[in-house]
Structure formats: C-alpha cells, structure tokens
Structure 1
Amino acid sequence: MTETVYPEVPVLVVGGGSVGLLTAALLTHHGVPVVLVERRDGPSVHPRATGIGSRSVEILRELGLDHAVDAAAVDLRGATAKAVARTVVEMSAGDVVAVPMPAPSPTEHDTTPFSLRGVCAQDRLDAVVAAHLERHGADLRWATRLTGITQDDEGVDVELEGPDGRYSMRCARLVAADGARSAVRTALGVGTSGAGDLGTPKVNILFRADLRPHLRGMAFATCTITTPEAPGLLATVDGETSWVFHANQDVDGGERPEDFTHERCVAVVRAAVGDPGLDVEVRSVLPWRPRISLADRFTVGRVFLVGDAAHTVSPMGAFGLNTGIADAHNLAWKLAAVHHGEAGPGLLDTYAQEREPVAAATVDQARRRLADPQLHWGRGPAADAARAAAGVWAAPVVHLGQRYDSTAVVDPRPELPSTTDLAVALDGSPGSRVPHAWVDGVSTLDLVASRWTLLAGTAADGWLTAAADVGLPAHQVRAPWLSDDGALLVRPDAIVAMRAMEPAPDPAAFLTDVLDQVLARSITVTGT
C-alpha cells in the first residue's frame, strides 16, 4: 500500500547513526520539524568510534547534552591513552608500553569551556541523543529504509519501506547521513575519490567480560595486543566489563568474516586477554576495514551529504565521527535560516563551499598519520620535528582550528597562522571558530547560544547601539583578538562572520549590509 504521510516535510534525515541523530537534534534545536528514517530497528548497540573531540563537545554543549554525554563517558583522567602489550594478563604484570592521555597545555586548556572526562563509545552517545530527540517529540522512524529518490526544483520525493509497508514522502530538503555505502549518494550518481579500502580487513567483536581482576586498577582507551594467537586492538567501552576487540582477518589464509563464529570469537577474546577460562559473552560482530574516500560533491540540488556519506576518514586521530558532527552543525543552522525565511536559498550553497575543503584537509591529515602512528601519538621534540617534516598538524588544530572560506564569511582568512598551536589558530579571524573567553563567568561560546551575536570591545558603544537597532544580542568582551572599539559578528555556529577593528560610520547600516550578504537575502534583520 502506498500513501503520502505528509504533503511536505521540511527536512528528511536518512540515517540514524550518530551524525544523523545529531543532525536531527540540531534541526530540532533550531525549530525545524524533521523526520528521521533508519533501516535498523533502533540506535546501534555496537560501538564504533569512541573519541569525541573538543569541537563535538562544544556542539553537544550547545544542545545541552555535554553533561549527559560526560556521564556516559569512561573516566580516563590520569589513565593511559594507548597501551601495547602481549596480552591483558601480561599487561597487569607490567609488560606494557603506555602512552599517557594527552594533558592539555595551559594555552589549550583556555581554548574551550568544557571537556569530557574520557572516551564515550558511539553507542552510548547515540543513546543520549536518541533519548533527547524522543523527549522533544521528534519523528524517528526505525526499521525504515529508503527505496527511491527523485527531486525537482521545489522538493524531494522519496519512497520508503517501513514496518507497515511502502509509502511515499515529499520533503523540502533531504540530508543523507546513511554511511560510507550511502544509498542516497549512489542513487544520485555521486562518485568518490581517494584511496578506498586500506590495510587488513578486521572484525569488530563487542563482548562482555570482567577484566578488572586482570587489569588491577589500570585504565586505558586502547591497547594493541601483540600475541600471535590473537593480534588486534582492544578498546574500552566502560573500562570494566564491556569491550570491543578489533581482530585482524587472515585474508591470506582464506579467512572470511563469516568464519568468526561465536565460538571463534570467544576463543579470540580469551587469547587476547590471556585467560583461557575467561567467561565471555559475545554481543555483536561486525566486519570492517579502514577506508579513505571523499564524495565528489557534498550537495546535489536539495540533497546534502554529511558524515560518512560525504567522507570516510581512517581511524587514526579520531577525526571521522567528529568531522561528520561538524558537517551537521554547519548545515543545520543554514537549513533553519532558510526554513524560517531569515535567509535566501543561496546560503545553502555555502555548506559545500565550507565543508568540502575542511573534509579534504581532515582526510589528508588522517592519511598522513596512518603511514606512521607515532606522528599522532609521539611526544617530545623529536616527535614534533617528525610531524613538521611530514606536514602533520596538531590534533587540536584539526578538530578546532580549521577555517571557512565562503560567501557566508566577510573577508575570510582561510590560511592557518599555526598548525601546531591551537590558541594561535583561534585568533578571531573571519572564518574561524570564535575564541573562547570568560565574560562574567560565561564562555563566549555560551553567549552565542545558537544565535547571531555581536561581541564588542570595551569602548565600542556605537557597535552595541547598532546591535540593538538591528535586533542582535551583544556583549562586551576584553580580549587580545578584539580592539577596544571593534566588534566581531558571530554566526549561530560560533564561526566569526565579520571582524571590524574600528568603528564604522553607520554601524547599524553596516551590520545590516553584512547580514544581507552573508544570509544571501535583501531583507532587514528583525531579531533572533
């Protein structure tokens, strides 16, 4: 049976992984009705990525979810980031090479208002975001897959198949967050470039086993297991009884993913732990392989690719999930501005203008690390010199320091002043994330609060008056990146849209002209 559920949905999100869920959450946050469809029957129970970067934490904070995700994270303060041991049992005996969790430098500590206490597995993140969406009445349609898609100048028509059969839906715009093998991207004929599949195929084994007696108080994010009986990577989910083990698939020996039966997985885990009698419950098994790819286009008409549908990033550096979350954050406020009539449709062109170069740079940074993991994990002057020679940026700069160059930024400064020092990279330049500074105990990021916001210098009374005239919230800030009589105009995604280091002859008219340019419109700001 075919039926039209709605005459038109403002935004349809295809894909219910972390990026799809956060896209829906951000759109809901901005007041846009959204429908999400996902072929699985609920959020994934299988952890994938565990590293949530600083920029992603800031986005979660914008949604009011930072503390909930922190509560779901494993406390790894003072723990080991990466360990290498023959088995877990031998690790507890002291036979281990360990890299401590990176301690932020004093300047890095001042670049963001909040950080997680450790790693948060993707399934835990998804559970937090899905519950948030349900509390806000979002339309989440699990066990529903897309079977067809067409679009015209006015909207997108999709065919869906759910628990109650087939039906059609029309939406104003569609966001494809349906993964590396994106059905939407394939249906639209968008190709990809890049190295593709890399390295040895792996099998991700999610299991329960109480490893605390063997760990004896040790804590780590990941441990490379080197025993010949079961080489692979052990990653923490809760640090106690829930773990994932990435086993290498012996392709040369003719091994296939289906060869990893329940019994085989139990044996592999016991060998990796070094305890032949360990009580193991295998919960899920997923084959996977590191992959590098970049979609040829991030936008096709009214369809937007985000996350793995747009780019796949090798796991070294934990950039993949975080890059997808940044896609969603960039796109959501723009879709909302157009939906609410606050911007012209040309604003949506800046999604690809901004995210394609950043995704390409991130993919490249992950690729460079893959060749030599020490370029990511190494510490000290020798490691710094090796990174500089290899063109490897500091991880915080990859996560937080990259810049946008588009028509949604006035006089952008896309060049990075530093690829090693995040505090230098976040200097208030147009196109960069607004620097974090405390204003009466509140971060500048929190002052933005998903709205267009003016940050004015301590002697910039004219800018403050102009902001009130055009309906913008404004705050005075004393900071080295802002002159006393200057101002920063900050976008809802906390990106600096304009910086003026001196007063304008007519500040209100100037702000109106800037907003008209950035928002691709010719109407007056009426407030936020």
Structure 2
Amino acid sequence: MNGNTVSTDVLIAGGGSVGLMLAVLLRHHGVKPLVVEEKPELSHHPRANGIGLRTVEILREVGLAEAVNEAAIDLRAGKIKGRTLAEADFTEGLAWKARGETEFTYTPARIRGTCAQNRFDRVLITKAGDVEFGVALDSFEQDPDGVTATLSDGRVVRARYLVAADGVRSRVRQILGLGVTGPGVMGRETTSVLFRAELRPEQPFAMCNIEHPDAPGLLVTVDGAREWVFLTTLDTEPAPDLIRTALGDPSVEVEIRSVLRFRGRGQVADRLSAGRVFLVGDAAHAIPPLGAFGLNTGVADAHNLAWKLAHVLRGEAGPELLETYHEERHPVALMTMEQARLRFEDPSLHWGQDMARAREAVGAMNAPVVHMGYRYGGAALPSTEDVALDFDGSPGSRLPHLWVADGVSTLDLVGSRWCVVTADPGVEADVPVHVVDGWPYGTVLVRPDGFISRSYE
C-alpha cells in the first residue's frame, strides 16, 4: 500500500448516533474501526430524543448507561398538551410518567427521562475512537478479501468490511443498487426549529402538544431549561414570534439556532448486507417518528452486527455468521416500520390509555414489545401487550432479567461473550457457566448480545 492508503478492519461510513454506537461496540469487542462523517462536527440539532430501555441495556454493557442517564433530562411529566405551553395541563403527563415507572420489572435499565440525540452523541463519541469529521465516502469496490474505498479527501481505505451508517439517502446503499420496501414518504413536510429560550418550567416535561391555531405543533425539550425544539407542519418561515405564540409568552426572548425540514418516511432496504458491506440505522430502514423506534432500532442493528464482525475478524467464526445479520435484523426492521406506520395513522394507539383492544384489532403491539420483545428466528410472541411475558427463556428471545446480587442482573453476567445460564450446579460447558439460584428457565446457551441461542431442556 502507498502512503495515501489507510488500512482498517472495519470502515464505518457515517458518524451519527448509530455509526458512533457501532464504533463503541466494536471497540468493546476489541476491534478498532475507522469512522468517517461528511458533516464538519457532531450535529447540534437533535432529530430524536427517546432512548429506549433496550438501548439503555446495551449502554450498560459498554459502561455508558450512567453517562447517558446523566445527560438525560430529569422529567416529572411525559407528554402534555395545551393551547399554548402557558395553558398546558400537566395532569395527564404526570399520570403517563407514573404509569411508565411501574413497568420496568423486566429490565435492569433505568433512565430518568429523555436524552436528546445531540446529548446522546456527545456521550458516545467519548468511546468511539477514530472519528474523522468533514470526510465522506465517495466510492468503493469490494472483492473476496475486502473493500477498497475512496474518501472525499483523496485517501484510499482498505478495509476488511464496510458498514453504511450514512442515513436515509445512503450513498453506500445506492452504489450497491439495493432497493427499498415500504410506503415511502408519509405525511406533510415538518419544520424542526431548534431554539433557545429561558423557560425552566416548574414541572419538567418531555413534549407538549401545542393546539394554538396560529402555531400548532409539538414542543420538545432538549435540556429542560434553555434549549428546545418546536416541530410544526405550518407552511411558513419560522420566526421568534411563532415560537412566542406557541409558548404563550409574548415577552420571552427567543433565539433560533437552526432549522431542519423533513418528511416522515417508511422504508426498509431489501437487503441489509451485500458481500462485505452492511447497512445499519437509517441506511437500512427509515422508521416514521411516532414511537421513538428509529434510533433505537439502529442501535439494536449495531449491537447485533458488532459481536459477529468481531468473532469473524478474530477467526472465532466463519463468514457465514455474518449472513445471520440480514436474516435476523431484516424482519425486525419490517415489523418496526409497520408498527410505526400504524401509529402514524392513529396516534392514540401509542399515546392513549387502555388501548390494548384497539391495538389488537389493527395488529399493533404495545411500545415496549416493539422496542425489546421481538425475537430472532420467527417464533410467535407470547404477548403483544405485556413484554415481560415475551422474556420466557425461549431461543431467539432476549435473556430474562433477574437480579442475582446487589445491582447485578443476569444480563450483566453475559459480559459480551457466549455463556450458559442455569440453576443446575452440575452443568459443564466450554463457555462460562452462571448458576443462578431460583432460575426458572432451564439451562440456556446465551449469545454475546444477550439473546438465547438454544435451550437444553
């Protein structure tokens, strides 16, 4: 190789949340990837702010759960509504938050509120390793031994594998010629306005549905005090007066920091892998926003792929292991897109109370089931409403959570490696065996990502 050629095991095209998460996970497994991101810096305009509990479990695995929890906003209310923020009713928001706080017996994960994507990314980059901003992937070719990519700065990268985390209009996906399936563009164009204003509400909230006829939209917290996002479908240029109308305070100082325009989209790539190239996050699937499924599904992609790449790179598994990435994640992406589409058509399926029958009637699942109750291998779920019932020790499902010591979960026992979990002290295996008193799920072989590979009983 000449002096203009860089060598790496894994090249990640895209340094957004999912690309950074993949880099963190690969480094956790002993692989040092190179991440290139065409933007000059981390985005300061959040596109998402809902960090799901399965994502927190993954963060717990790599030692970042507490840091993300600290970056999250301590909320006492979830979603509220009002003609303006000044007229908002916090009663339902407080009740919604209280309901959520009683449902976490199935996971060791905790997060005190929402974590805006820009704050999330600032935590991830601390463990992501080599991330080069202002550099895009221009082109690539692959052969039986690797991928040769040309970067926008003229360098050539020789990588064993390439992972596309380059967004919904993925250049990598286009070069591969992969098609997409789904409804495509959905709904009207939305304007997202990131602004600063000293609000500091007495009751911190996640989001407020603004019903004022001159400023309808959704107010979303970023830091709970000075930074906010206002989402509206009004066909008008955003201005401070529009924000003041939504806030219900004509005197508040408003500084607009940035404006993004987008339309919801539902699509899943027909293949999530092609040879030595893999798609994750929005490059693999665009999920309509209601439900906070998009970012979290991308994190789960990265979690599924990272340990498999590491095993193959270390020679601990053959390349056929990597074929399971598409086989496992593609059905999950299709399911998740469909669940988001149903919510897009009827938001009450997500936000309404006592909606189990309504969800069942249209094939919708309760949100926690979508986030973490899915299983690999195609087996039917025991429940589409109570996610705790889906953690039953069956192959393809996530290992059930039980506390085994102070602050230690059965999920922590996995330690990112193959292991056996059992109640039988006489079990022997070629991988670590964890004997858990009172374990009711028989003897199970667990993969490094915490999913059950097989049951011995």
Alignment of 1:340 onto 2:314? yes
Q: Which amino acid aligns with 1:478?
A: D
Q: CA deviation at 1:155?
A: 0.8
Deviations 1:213-240 (A, max 9, x none): xx4x122111111112111110001111
Asked if structure 1 preserves the Cα contact closer than 8 Å seen for 2:77 and 2:90, the reply is: no
Partner of 2:109: 114
The secondary structure found in structure 2 opposite 1:151 is strand
Alignment of 1:286 onto 2:260? yes
Aligned mates of 2:99, 2:327 — CA distance in 1: 34
Partner of 2:169: 181
Q: CA deviation at 1:168?
A: 1.0
The secondary structure found in structure 1 opposite 2:99 is coil
Residues 163-174 of structure 1: pairs in structure 2 closer than 5 A: 165-174=153-162
Partner of 2:373: 401
Deviations 1:117-165 (A, max 9, x none): 00000000000011223xxxx211110011111111111111101xxx3
Q: Which amino acid aligns with 1:86?
A: R
Alignment of 1:88 onto 2:60? no
Q: Which amino acid aligns with 1:173?
A: Y
Aligned mates of 1:189, 1:63 — CA distance in 2: 34
Q: Decide which structure has the larger Cα Rg and report it.
A: 1
Q: CA deviation at 1:265?
A: 2.5
Q: CA deviation at 1:326?
A: 0.2
Aligned mates of 2:34, 2:297 — CA distance in 1: 23
The secondary structure found in structure 1 opposite 2:123 is helix
Counterpart of 2:437 (choices 460, 478, 492) is: 478
Aligned mates of 1:227, 1:318 — CA distance in 2: 25
Q: CA deviation at 1:95?
A: 9.0
> Could you say if the C-alpha distance between residues 3 and 245 of structure 1 is closer, same or farther in structure 2, counting changes exceeding 3 Å?
farther
Coordinate RMSD, CA, aligned: 1.7
Asked if structure 2 preserves the Cα contact closer than 8 Å seen for 1:85 and 1:97, the reply is: no
The secondary structure found in structure 1 opposite 2:144 is coil
Residues 136-285 of structure 1: pairs in structure 2 closer than 5 A: 138-161=129-152, 165-212=153-200, 215=201, 217-250=202-235, 260=237, 264-285=238-259
Asked if structure 1 preserves the Cα contact closer than 8 Å seen for 2:392 and 2:441, the reply is: no
Alignment of 1:323 onto 2:297? yes
Deviations 1:198-222 (A, max 9, x none): 111011111110113xx4x122111
The secondary structure found in structure 2 opposite 1:109 is coil
Deviations 1:387-406 (A, max 9, x none): 1112111111111110001x
- Structure 2 portions without partners, runs of 5+: none
Asked if structure 1 preserves the Cα contact closer than 8 Å seen for 2:80 and 2:90, the reply is: no
Partner of 2:122: 127
Deviations 1:315-370 (A, max 9, x none): 11110000000000000000000001100000000000000001111111111111
Aligned mates of 1:148, 1:402 — CA distance in 2: 35
Partner of 2:287: 313
Counterpart of 1:416 (choices 353, 370, 381) is: 381
Alignment of 1:447 onto 2:413? yes
Partner of 2:30: 31
Q: CA deviation at 1:3?
A: 5.1
Partner of 1:295: 269
The secondary structure found in structure 1 opposite 2:420 is strand
Asked if structure 1 preserves the Cα contact closer than 8 Å seen for 2:23 and 2:33, the reply is: yes
Stretch deviating more after TM superposition (264-273 or 325-334): 264-273
Asked if structure 2 preserves the Cα contact closer than 8 Å seen for 1:173 and 1:303, the reply is: yes
* Count of aligned pairs: 454
Aligned mates of 1:289, 1:221 — CA distance in 2: 22
Aligned mates of 2:43, 2:143 — CA distance in 1: 33
Partner of 2:361: 389
Aligned mates of 1:123, 1:334 — CA distance in 2: 28
Q: Which amino acid aligns with 1:81?
A: G
Aligned mates of 2:405, 2:435 — CA distance in 1: 10
Aligned mates of 1:219, 1:105 — CA distance in 2: 16
Q: Which amino acid aligns with 2:46?
A: P
> Could you say if the C-alpha distance between residues 479 and 177 of structure 1 is closer, same or farther in structure 2, counting changes exceeding 3 Å?
farther
Deviating 4+ runs (over 6 angstroms): none
The secondary structure found in structure 2 opposite 1:197 is strand
Q: CA deviation at 1:102?
A: 5.4
Deviations 1:454-501 (A, max 9, x none): 1122x340x2xx22xx2x211112346423xxx111000000011112
Stretch deviating more after TM superposition (344-353 or 264-273): 264-273
Partner of 2:9: 10
The secondary structure found in structure 2 opposite 1:198 is strand
Aligned mates of 1:421, 1:61 — CA distance in 2: 23
Q: CA deviation at 1:193?
A: 1.5
Partner of 2:97: 101
The secondary structure found in structure 2 opposite 1:82 is strand
Counterpart of 2:391 (choices 414, 426, 431) is: 426
Alignment of 1:489 onto 2:445? yes
Q: Which amino acid aligns with 1:53?
A: G
> Could you say if the C-alpha distance between residues 144 and 222 of structure 1 is closer, same or farther in structure 2, counting changes exceeding 3 Å?
same
Q: Which amino acid aligns with 2:137?
A: L
> Could you say if the C-alpha distance between residues 202 and 354 of structure 1 is closer, same or farther in structure 2, counting changes exceeding 3 Å?
same
Aligned mates of 1:71, 1:105 — CA distance in 2: 18
> Could you say if the C-alpha distance between residues 105 and 245 of structure 1 is closer, same or farther in structure 2, counting changes exceeding 3 Å?
closer
Aligned mates of 2:362, 2:59 — CA distance in 1: 33
> Could you say if the C-alpha distance between residues 102 and 4 of structure 1 is closer, same or farther in structure 2, counting changes exceeding 3 Å?
farther
Deviations 1:155-181 (A, max 9, x none): 1111101xxx31111111011001101
Asked if structure 2 preserves the Cα contact closer than 8 Å seen for 1:87 and 1:225, the reply is: yes
The secondary structure found in structure 1 opposite 2:251 is coil
- Structure 1 portions without partners, runs of 5+: 406-412, 502-528
Aligned mates of 1:115, 1:489 — CA distance in 2: 26
Q: Which amino acid aligns with 2:87?
A: E
